[in-house]
Amino acid sequence: MTTIKGPGIFLAQFLGENPPFNNLESICLWAAEKGFIAVQIPTNDPKIFDLKLAAESTTYADEIKGIVAACGLEISELSTHLQGQLVAVHPAYDDLFDAFAPAELRGNPKARTEWAIQQLKYAAKASQNLGLNAHATFSGSLLWHTFHPWPQRPVGLVEEGFKELARRWLPILNYFDECGVDVCYEIHPGEDLFDGQTYEMFLEKVNNHPRACLLYDPSHFVLQCLDYIQYIDFYHERIKAFHVKDAEFNPTGKQGTFGGYQSWLNRAGRYRSPGDGQVDFKTIFSKLTQYDYKGWAVMEWECCLKHPEDGAREGAAFIKDHIIRVTDKAFDDFAATTNDADFNKKIIGLL
């Protein structure tokens, strides 16, 4: 078994225009002061991290590592959640998701997809240059608008959607394999990979690609009423990244999993700061430790109630308190007997 690494923090929800959240060094110093020892870095803002340059220049990658290390931190993973979303976008969402792409590509879905695919390849090489072995992203979606179908789905629609999704991702997965980095899909509503069944359908279409791995985030499963503990039993061999994000689901006579078009504050299912929701993190950390998860525990803060700085401070302590330092001996070793073959045979009646 391996002791899980952490606490880490995903920086995406904390970046902003004002200090200390407006450059990599100052936000890393802030994270270290809160008690974190690693950062997961989003790659969509060149002012914080230049993804293309990190892929093309080992000197720049070394500079980034140096900045982070000087703050007393490590890099857990890079993230391309926004770019991964753009690998596959249904036309109904073009205008909304254009905001994730450079201005010159907006209104041009084909060019936007090509850009997104190249971004993922840059992320593979940048991760290699930074000495990382896992990468966090989204799958994108062509089918989400049909998840609760009316009228019913045409025969073969789902198969065609996953076939196309796999066609777009296979070259990316192959390049990540060349770079020695796992692609960790965050299984998430709004993506075509939103639960275990959809992940398995995708995995089949990419020929069980060894780099098609998982970012485990139980918060999304609470909102789907999915057994997030058994999920670990099913997929632990593919879990290579871990977001510590809490959630709660409190259905009423007026709304359930779909939320009634309400704000996050007024939804039956909503995300909370670590420890404030319903996720059984004690069992999660035990399961991941039991299955020898070797990665980081990274806090992702998304809470509609608590101030983010309080969430960060409490989240660092929460993760630290849940990490299990693995034992190097059995609790009953004090009563152990010697390894004696004849004695063993005598006990079971063979001598």
Q: How many domains would you assign to the chain?
A: 1
Mean pLDDT by 10 residues, the chain (351 residues): 97 96 98 98 96 98 98 98 98 97 97 98 98 98 96 97 98 98 98 98 98 98 98 98 98 97 97 98 98 98 96 98 93 77 87 82
Give Cβ neighbours of residue 21 (< 8 Å, ≥ 6 apart). 14, 15, 27, 30
Can you give the pLDDT at residue 237?
A: 98
Residues 225-235: pLDDT tens digits?
999 999 999 99
Can you give the pLDDT at residue 18?
A: 96
Can you give the pLDDT at residue 344?
A: 86
Q: Which of 95, 183, 166 is nearest to 132 (CA)?
A: 183
CA angle 38, 239, 182 (to 5 degrees): 75
Q: What is the CA radius of gyration of the chain?
A: 22
Can you give the pLDDT at residue 329?
A: 83
Residues 54-108: pLDDT tens digits?
999 999 999 999 999 999 999 999 999 999 999 999 999 999 999 999 999 999 9
For residue 223, the domain's CATH number is 3.20.20.150
Can you give the pLDDT at residue 94?
A: 97
Can you give the pLDDT at residue 119?
A: 98
Three-class HEC string of the chain = CCCCEEEEEECCCCCCCCCCCCCHHHHHHHHHHHCCCEEEEECCCCCCCCHHHHHHCHHHHHHHHHHHHHCCCEEEEEEEHHHHHCCCECHHHHHHHHHHCCHHHCCCHHHHHHHHHHHHHHHHHHHHHCCCCEEEECCCECCHHHCCCCCCCCCCHHHHHHHHHHHHHHHHHHHHHHHCCEEEEECCCCCCCCCHHHHHHHHHHCCCCCCEEEEECCHHHHHHCCCHHHHHHHHCCCEEEEEECEEEECCCCCCCCCHHHCCHHHCCEEEECCCCCCCCHHHHHHHHHHCCCCCEEEECCCCCCCCHHHHHHHHHHHHHHHCCCCCCCCCCHHHCCCCCHHHHHHHCCCC
- Find the domain containing 328 and state its range: 5-347
Can you give the pLDDT at residue 331?
A: 80
Give the pTM: 0.96
Residue 324: CA count within 13 A, CB half-sphere: 19
Can you give the pLDDT at residue 45?
A: 94
Contact 316, 274 (CB under 8 A): no
Please report, for residues 100, 138, 274, the alpha-carbon distance to residue 35 in angstroms, rounded to integers and kept in the order given: 31, 28, 15
Contact 40, 8 (CB under 8 A): yes
